Structure 1
Amino acid sequence: MVAGCGANCIKYILFVFNVLFFLIGAAAVGIGIWVLVDKNYMSTLSKVTSDPAVQDYNIPGLLQSGAIILIAGGAVLIVMGFLGCCGAVKEIKCMLCLYATLLLLILVAEIAAGILVAVMKNKFETELQLNLVKNLEKNYDGNLKSGNTFSRAIDWAQVYFECCGINNYKDFENATGWTNKTTVPATCCVLTDRDKFLNGDNTATPKDSTCPGTPTGVNSYIQTSCYPKIRSWLVDKSVTVIGIAFAIAALEIFGIIFACCLMRTIGQQKG
């Protein structure tokens, strides 16, 4: 057993840190699973691919990728929390050494991932916009009960963000599955019950009966493009994830410091 008030403080602080690691890890796994299971239309819109053959959206999108990372990272934190708690309580120097080394490797990986995200940010945003336009042209059919997930996602986004089209309402002129080229989708109109539609009702009743036949800046959202709002929504979610990552990184740094201090104390007392 380590002796001295300072050494015991380090030991119990390290224990508390690792209890936090364990709880954060469990929460991350839970949130990640929830995101993967949740049928959120934004998950469909966040998928980016340069392959024109992709129609079924079976690749992971931004939200799904983040969920997978959360699950993997959460599992690692659970293991790290267990190692740190055991190493601190039992004062096992080799376990503390392994714990500190793994934490350092994880911290380096997180820094590298952060740099990669910063470098790829502009490319991702460009690819996202092009992908949304391309998939709208290829998959949008205007059927609110469509079997095409992307088509329903576009309608949902237009009602949720109160917008029309990715760049503008003229995007629908090039939609091969959209036959009524003389109008805009009903979801571009101001609806009588917006919340009802967003909660899963597959009907869109415009407040003004002249819309979508004669959409204006008053009875519809044709003057507002969807892309800036979709991008802003994804950026906000990313900021939340980045904030969590910074908080975890700070805990990791303190964990490394306290583990090294405790190892040094154990080594000095055994020496």
Structure 2
Amino acid sequence: MCCSGFLKIMMFVFNGVIFLAGAAILGVGIWVTVDSSSMLGVLAHIEDAPPELAQLANVGYLLIAVGSILAVMGFLGCCGAITENKCMLLTFFIIVLLIFIAEVAGAIVVLVFKPLAADILDNLNEKFVAAIQKEYGQNKDFSSVLNSTMTQLKCCGYNNYTDFTGSPFVTSNKLYPEVCCSEDTPKCDLAAAQQSKDVDGCFKALVELIEDNASLLGGVALSIAALEIAAMVVSMVLYNKIGK
């Protein structure tokens, strides 16, 4: 009886964490979907973008789906443990197992197709720069999204200020975006942009941001995997004890 009570508490704790994580991911997904002022919004304006990149624009919907599944999964686990419902516990175990298998398969796919990333990024570089030179300063939506992205990441263009050369904004104003120059520059013209070598491109800034948080992301991923395994073990032990 004591062991069964302990297992119930463990299941409640595990699934409480899973439910909160799902709710958080769901909230982020809704925010990303509603908020157009993000880097993902730029992809919608890039012509002939690779299909892999075009799908990134739907990441908000993916987060909503994942968050909803985790929230439902946590609810099933908590209710199954409290009410000792074998059907709920079995459903919970199957969902967690499928998610775990999908995560392992996704990790394998990423490792196998990692060499293709360089070709995709090279293609993105050309398309992104072409979109900037065609749309920036003329398309208000594109310009607003890119300005917001550059301000948040403190970066300039995809590579650097040269990406804006020939764009409608530079052609009409003879100036570059203010973020492309140092903060103490009164006017961001060509000379000032050339001297502001400390302003990186947004791609480099994004890569550095990911690298700086790689350890944190890896730790979170391993913690989630360990939590899923522990939840599956506890749910099956509790499932077998119910009715005995």
TM tier relative to shorter chain: 0.7 to 0.9
User: What letter matches 2:239 in structure 1?
Assistant: M
TM-score, normalized by length of structure 2?
Answer: 0.76
Amino acid corresponding to residue 180 of structure 1 in structure 2: T
Counterpart of 2:227 in structure 1 is 251
> Structure 1 regions of 5+ residues with no counterpart?
193-205
1:28 paired to 2:25:
yes
Look up the match of 1:92: 85
Distance between the aligned counterparts of 2:86 and 2:119, measured in 1? 50
1:81-230 superposed matches below 5 A: 81-124=74-117, 126-140=119-133, 141-143=135-137, 146-158=138-150, 160-173=152-165, 175=166, 177=168, 180=171, 185-187=176-178, 188-191=180-183, 206-207=185-186, 209=187, 211-215=188-192, 218=195, 220-221=196-197, 224-230=200-206
- Counting aligned pairs with the same residue, the percent is 33
Larger fraction in helix: 2
Q: CA deviation at 1:29?
A: 1.0
TM-superposed deviation, 1:12: 2.2
Q: Is residue 75 from structure 1 mapped to residue 68 from structure 2 by the alignment?
A: yes
The Cα shift of 1:135 comes to 2.8
User: What letter is aligned with 2:233?
Assistant: I
Query: Counterparts of 1:162 and 1:85 in 2: how far apart (Å)?
Result: 44
Tell me if structure 2 keeps the 8 A contact 1:15–1:85: yes
- Give the corresponding residue for 1:11: 8
Q: CA deviation at 1:258?
A: 0.6
Distance 2:62 2:216 in 1: 14
Tell me which of 221, 231, 236 is aligned to 2:207: 231
TM-score w.r.t. the length of structure 1 is 0.70
Q: Structure 2 vs 1, CA of residues 75 and 243 (structure 1 numbering), >3 Å: closer, same or farther?
A: farther
The aligned amino acid for 2:189 is P
- 8 Å Cα contact 1:169/1:184 also seen in 2: no
Residues 137/151 of structure 1: CA separation in 2 closer, same or farther (3 Å cut): farther
CA distance in 1, matches of 2:84, 2:31: 37
Are the equivalent residues in 2 in contact too, given 1:11–1:88 (CA < 8 A)?
yes
Larger Rg: 1
Superposed CA deviations along residues 191-217 of structure 1, whole A, max 9, x for unmatched, are: 45xxxxxxxxxxxxx42x4x4142365
Partner in structure 2 of residue 261 of structure 1: 237
Assess, with a 3 A threshold, how the Cα gap between structure 1 residues 127 and 108 changes in structure 2: closer, same or farther: same
> Do the aligned partners of residues 261 and 216 (structure 1) sit closer, same or farther apart at CA in structure 2, a change above 3 Å counting?
closer
Please give the alpha-carbon distance, in whole angstroms, between the structure 1 residues aligned to 2:120 and 2:22.
Answer: 32
**Alpha-carbon displacement from aligned partner over 1:96-134 (angstroms, at most 9, x marks no partner):** 222212211111111112222333445345423532432
Where 2:73 maps in the other structure, the secondary structure is helix
Deviates more, 1:6-15 or 1:251-260: 6-15
CA distance in structure 2 between the aligned counterparts of 1:167 and 1:42, rounded to whole angstroms? 15
User: What CA distance in whole angstroms lies between the structure 2 residues aligned with 1:178 and 1:31?
Assistant: 33
Distance change in 2, residues 1:135/1:217 (3 Å): closer
The 10-residue stretch of structure 1 (228-237 or 105-114) with the greater mean CA deviation from structure 2: 228-237
Match of 1:61 in 2: 56
Corresponding residue SS for 1:95:
helix
Alignment partners' CA distance in 2, 1:7 and 1:265: 7
